[in-house]
Structure 1
Amino acid sequence: MSEPVISTALSSQQQLERLGYKQELSRSVTTFDLLVYGLIFMVPIAPWAIFGTVYNEAQGMVPLVYLVGLVAMIFTALSYAQMAKAIPLAGSVFSYVGKGIHPNLGFFAGWLMLLDYLLVPTLLYVFAAESMIGIFPGSERWMWALLFVAVNVVINMSGVSSLKWMNRVFLVMELAFIVAFFVIGIRALSDGATPGSSFSITPLWDPATVSAPLLATALSIAVLSFLGFDGISTMAEESTGGRGSAGRAMVLALVIVATLFITQTWLASLLAGPYQPIPEDRVGNAFFDIIGTIASTPVMNAFFVCNVLAVGIANAMAAQAATSRLLYSMSRDGQLPKFLRHINSRKVPSYAILFVGGLSAVLVLFFVGQISLISSMVNFGALTGFLLLHLSVVVFWIGRRKSRNYLAHLAFPVIGFAIIGYVLLNAETQAKVAGLVWVGVGALVFAYYRRTGRSTELAEEREDITVSSQ
């Protein structure tokens, strides 16, 4: 006997109840809001800060790196879309793996994603604090980091409406600076203001330079550059756009931000002239040095301030929101302390938001100046979570739902798994060591739960209603 299919007319409330939960968060986030949120999380101007590093690693072909990244990450975005449609919960990979494969594995998926989500805000605050020293030499890094933490806690505690409004403001700001860069850069190339520079596709593809090792290096850099689009899935329980809205927003956000990355870095690479390695002491400021050669110092400083605000407030604000939703979801399923599931009058997980803010405030005091270490730990958590995501698509759709859509439910996740697996195998040693230590701590927590009789089961799904495999 075939399983019944959920009607597209089912309300968001009914979809949530099917999965065994009550509607507690405010459903006021449109698909457009999800798209804006995803763009802010990935930061449309993200290449500015790492342009010099990628330029040297890719021998000048920075836009190629981001093109490779789009191709690589689109498979992960499609896997997210499939699971978000079937399991529209705030827990993201924790919920997908827990309900798609097994609750015990779901616990470890959530635990691994915690390594990513708990440390991302800290990484962003540390990075923004380092940048503020360039604007205000002699000031204290920890002071700036704590200021950014406080601002983002206030915004997130104010409710999802405040978050949506701030996301739009910052997105407009970043897009305005991108347009300004195109105007200034194209004019400089057209006027011959940068000797040796001209319009060409060499930064995107140079047959004399492209090689398998270079593409492998580009893949490792590129995949990590797009981390953040997955945060859209944590807003699923606040979405008004139906089962497919989060998935559509993820794929669209990834394509849009990749296009912005590619075009910006293509123009910056042209302005840099024929490839020459950027000196080590200028790598971090390479993009802003380019701005300085084609515009005035005040204009260059304005770009620098925009970058700091985008990372320290806009990006960190989105990261804190995503992290609080993951904590809320895991707490609701008994995997974390119960107080983290508290919802305040503004319909946001207030205790989880305060916890993330407090943890970030403590961690920035220890991790100031250690961006590389935090980055490696974040990357391990994200990549291992992605591996489990792809696995959950195959098990849930092919194994449990007997789907015949082999392209979306088998081929795409297998390709995505292979790409992420390759990047993870070639990750830095410190990333693997830190990640394995975190897994070990998770195993101890899991063992404690089992020994004390605490269940790792998630809320019961009603088996009489299932989703379509199409």
Structure 2
Amino acid sequence: MSSPDLSRFGYEQELRRTMTLRDLVVYGMVFMVPIAPFSIFGSVFNGSSGMVPLTYIIGWVAMVFTAISYREMSRAFPIAGSVYAYAGRGLNPSAGFLAGWAILLDYLLVPTLLYVVGAQAMANVVPDVPQWAWIVLFVLLNTIINLRGVETTATANKVFLYAQLLVLVVFVVLAVIGISRGDGGSHWSGTPFFNSAEFSPSLVFGALSIAVLSFLGFDAISTMSEEVKGGSRVIGRATLITLSLVAVLFIVQTYLAALLVPGKTQFDTDDAANNAFYDISNLIGGRVFEIVIALAVAIGAAIANSLVAQAATSRLLFSMARDGQLPRFLRDVHPVRRVPQKAILLVAGISLVLGLFLVGQIALLSSLVNFGALFSFLVLHVSVVSHYLFRRRDRRFGLHLIVPVIGFVIIGYVLVNADIHAKVGGLVWLAVGVAVLVFFKVTGRSAKLTLEEGTPASEESPSS
């Protein structure tokens, strides 16, 4: 049966529409990991000279512009595929393919990175179990949950989110008590938000690079467009709500943590920075609470976050395969559970192979996963201007010109200043994508995407 939203783009409703606004917010929060600062607090602390909550405020403001662009394109094109679908119709199918190809680098490697992070964390808790065994267990568990259907995934997301929030609440309570009684010389202060002795424009821009990367993941909400109830506006609302809620959680926990290391603007060694949050947890709650934090990080990354990452990646593969941009078998949908089962299994297989091959290689994986998302965000902002101002002749310049231009500049700055390994690996991946695109054109397999009401998207730019 066709969906009114999908039929005008030439698609049938194949996936099951069961997700609500609440489900999407939970999904997005799990993807972004509410306790993400636990594992990177020390490095962000060093990069911001102790002003960690200020860093997350800057990051939230910076990413709002990209979130608004996602909202606008999700309203115009309420279909699965995220930036692949938006650029393919907002610009042209070639741009859509490259945007989808770019973000695939992020989406395919994120589950692998999370499994490796989780295995490393579990090795600190149960050292007798080899890390590869944890990776196999994590992959099997998440694949089973995702194959059971989007309802099972949504239920699991809620359980994982509530568990993370419970740990976070306990940390906040213990931190407030610890600061109030002066643990470690701590005291209430506004210095983590603004330290005049350390603040400078260069610090702001450096913090921007760190903070923007901390918020990556909210974009995955748009991959669930064909499984949400309530219309296309739900995706946009969920994106902005999730981004704002996670920002508040990041700011609160890092403010309290920064107060518990008074007088510091840097950690002396990499080891001290890597273990900063665990040491703070030990200070306020003892060794037992430190172990709880370590387990929360492991489960949050290797199970909860990987679960939604696998779901998002499979929907992107499904969308590109449906348009003939990837092998057709990836568009296969289970007749009962209505999930892209072969795409889910492919993601699981890639994650398992790479995870076993790259055990312990957290730095290498981290350097590669961000390029694809940042590049695709650039294409997204251009798509907003192209679709609304040139194709639809919309004259809301603030929403469809100023916002995407500011978002483009912010993301462009972060991408230019990205790690050299990320840029080299990302450019090689893009070069392969260009070669695949040329092959498609030569063999006559270029996608013909429908804008609406049967009108195909031109391979030419709408502004030409």
Separation (CA, whole Å) in 2 of partners of 1:218 and 1:464: 44
- Is 1:347 the counterpart of 2:360? The answer is no
Separation (CA, whole Å) in 1 of partners of 2:319 and 2:421: 29
- When structure 1 is superposed on structure 2, of 373-382 and 415-424 the one drifting more is 373-382
1:201: which partner in 2? Answer: 190
Separation (CA, whole Å) in 2 of partners of 1:343 and 1:15: 19
Mapping of 1:34-433 within 5 angstroms?
A: 34-195=24-185, 197-278=186-267, 279-344=269-334, 345-433=336-424
Give aligned-pair identity as a percent.
52
Separation (CA, whole Å) in 1 of partners of 2:282 and 2:249: 21
Q: Which residues of structure 1 form unaligned runs of 5+?
A: 1-10, 466-470
Separation (CA, whole Å) in 2 of partners of 1:243 and 1:454: 30
Separation (CA, whole Å) in 1 of partners of 2:3 and 2:442: 35
8 Å contact 2:81–2:315 — kept in the other structure?
Answer: yes
Separation (CA, whole Å) in 2 of partners of 1:307 and 1:426: 28
Separation (CA, whole Å) in 2 of partners of 1:86 and 1:371: 38
Separation (CA, whole Å) in 2 of partners of 1:65 and 1:179: 22
Query: SS at the partner of 2:184?
Result: coil
TM-score (norm 1): 0.94
Give the deviation of 1:133 after TM superposition. Answer: 1.1
8 Å contact 2:45–2:265 — kept in the other structure?
Answer: no
1:134 to 1:102, Cα distance in 2 relative to 1, 3 A: same
- When structure 1 is superposed on structure 2, of 279-288 and 183-192 the one drifting more is 279-288
Tell me how large the CA RMSD over aligned residues is: 1.4
8 Å contact 1:21–1:459 — kept in the other structure?
Answer: no
Following TM superposition, the consecutive aligned residue runs of length 4 or more in structure 1 with deviations greater than 6 angstroms are: none
Separation (CA, whole Å) in 1 of partners of 2:257 and 2:451: 52
Give the deviation of 1:147 after TM superposition. Answer: 1.1
| CA displacement, residues 257-294 of structure 1 (integer Å, 9 cap, x when unaligned) | 00100010000000111115222222222101101011
- When structure 1 is superposed on structure 2, of 276-285 and 116-125 the one drifting more is 276-285
Give the deviation of 1:458 after TM superposition. Answer: 2.1
| CA displacement, residues 345-374 of structure 1 (integer Å, 9 cap, x when unaligned) | 201000000000001001112222222222
Give the deviation of 1:327 after TM superposition. Answer: 0.2
8 Å contact 1:78–1:251 — kept in the other structure?
Answer: yes
Q: How many residues align?
A: 454
8 Å contact 1:112–1:382 — kept in the other structure?
Answer: yes
Give the deviation of 1:12 after TM superposition. Answer: 8.8
TM-score (norm 2): 0.96
Q: Which residues of structure 2 form unaligned runs of 5+?
A: 457-464
Separation (CA, whole Å) in 2 of partners of 1:248 and 1:296: 40
1:348 to 1:225, Cα distance in 2 relative to 1, 3 A: same
Give the deviation of 1:452 after TM superposition. Answer: 2.0
Separation (CA, whole Å) in 2 of partners of 1:116 and 1:74: 20
Separation (CA, whole Å) in 2 of partners of 1:63 and 1:276: 13
